[in-house]
């Protein structure tokens, strides 16, 4: 990948979009992962106001430490960068008490609460974005956004722009190295940070990002019968998740009303 060309292209795209939208810049949620690390750096490189927000919800200390190590590094390098922390744990605990149901009757409750965390962060980003005249900058990559739909609808999927959504995860790591992000961000194991127990993306999905990327690049031109062994296992994982994620990937369905019914 021609990292410098890709970097310059995304930075200029972000700058042009913000100028055209007549906003001051971007707000980004920083998790301590490589995606938000790369996106926040690219936003900072526009020279426009860049607000970084770390939003812990029952968060592991190492994730908080990584996020702040990265944010402090960007603040030292870019005068247009501001950083803050908004502790969302108390708000989440109130929602937890209000929503909590019996797990044995509702087996999807833990997943629903994981998605609630993501949606609470989305609300926070839009609040601070609006009062500061900023757009919410998404951090999803190509595999997550258009491959397996590994994000929360109206959570981390609720954004104004998606600058790295056409980059595979391995390409995001390549950019992280070329942008000289702090080592802990470059080496961060992918995790969504939405669960009380440590659950990496690979553990949740059942496949690595390089494995998924291989299938995504060939998807639509091959079927399960074209694969064997581990590749076939990953194809079936990708195929199942991709089909289940169509309600995220496609625009919201609209029920069209025939024009002749509007008359009379």
Give the model's pLDDT for residue 264: 61
Q: Pairing state of beta strands 134-136 and 81-85?
A: unpaired
Confirm whether 237 is domain-assigned.
Answer: no
Could you tell me which residues come within 8 angstroms of residue 150 by beta carbon, excluding any fewer than 6 positions away?
143, 144, 192, 201, 204, 205, 241, 245
What pLDDT does residue 189 have? 82
pLDDT of residue 104: 87
195 found inside a domain: yes
The answer to the question of residue 222 being in a domain is no
Distance CA 174, CA 199 (A): 24
Q: What is the pLDDT of residue 4?
A: 97
Mean pLDDT split into 10-residue runs, the chain, 264 residues: 96 98 98 95 98 94 91 97 97 95 90 95 98 97 95 96 97 96 89 75 91 96 96 97 95 92 79
In a domain, residue 211? The reply is: no
Tell me which residue has tokens 């310059």. Answer: 8
This prediction's pTM: 0.92
Asked whether residue 236 is assigned to any structural domain, the reply reads no
pLDDT at 203: 87
- Write down the pLDDT at residue 72: 97
DSSP 3-state of 255: coil
Decide if 258 is inside a domain: no
How many domains does the structure of the chain reveal?
Answer: 1
- 71 found inside a domain: yes
Give the chain's length: 264
Range of the domain at 138: 3-202
Tell me what pLDDT residue 59 has: 86
Q: Looking at residue 263, what is its pLDDT?
A: 77
Other CB atoms within 10 Å distance of the CB of residue 9: 13
Residue 43 near residue 22, CB atoms below 8 Å: no
CATH number, residue 182: 3.40.50.620
Look at residue 72 and tell me if it is in a domain: yes
């Amino acid at each position: 990948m021609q990292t410098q060309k890709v970097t310059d292209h995304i930075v200029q795209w972000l700058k042009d979009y913000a100028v055209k939208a007549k906003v001051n810049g971007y707000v980004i949620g920083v998790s301590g992962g490589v995606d938000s690390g790369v996106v926040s750096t690219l936003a900072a490189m526009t020279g426009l106001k860049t607000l970084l927000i770390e939003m812990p919800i029952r968060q592991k200390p190492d994730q908080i430490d990584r996020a702040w190590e990265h944010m402090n590094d960007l603040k030292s390098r870019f005068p247009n960068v501001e950083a803050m922390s908004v502790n969302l744990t108390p708000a989440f605990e109130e929602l937890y008490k209000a929503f909590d149901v019996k797990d044995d009757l509702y087996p999807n409750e833990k997943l629903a609460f994981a998605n609630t965390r993501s949606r609470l962060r989305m609300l926070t980003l839009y609040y601070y974005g609006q009062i500061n005249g900023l757009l919410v900058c998404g951090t999803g990559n190509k595999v997550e956004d258009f491959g397996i739909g590994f994000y929360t609808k109206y959570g981390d999927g609720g954004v104004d722009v998606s600058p790295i959504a056409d980059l595979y995860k391995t390409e995001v790591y390549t950019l992280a190295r070329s942008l000289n992000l702090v080592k802990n961000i470059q080496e961060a194991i992918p995790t969504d940070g939405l669960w009380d127990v440590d659950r990496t993306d690979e553990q949740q999905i059942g496949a690595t990002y390089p494995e998924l990327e291989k299938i995504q690049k060939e998807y639509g031109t091959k079927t399960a019968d074209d694969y064997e062994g581990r590749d076939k296992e990953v194809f079936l994982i990708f195929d199942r998740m991709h089909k289940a994620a169509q309600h995220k990937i496609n625009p919201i369905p609209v029920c069209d009303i025939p024009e002749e019914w509007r008359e009379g």
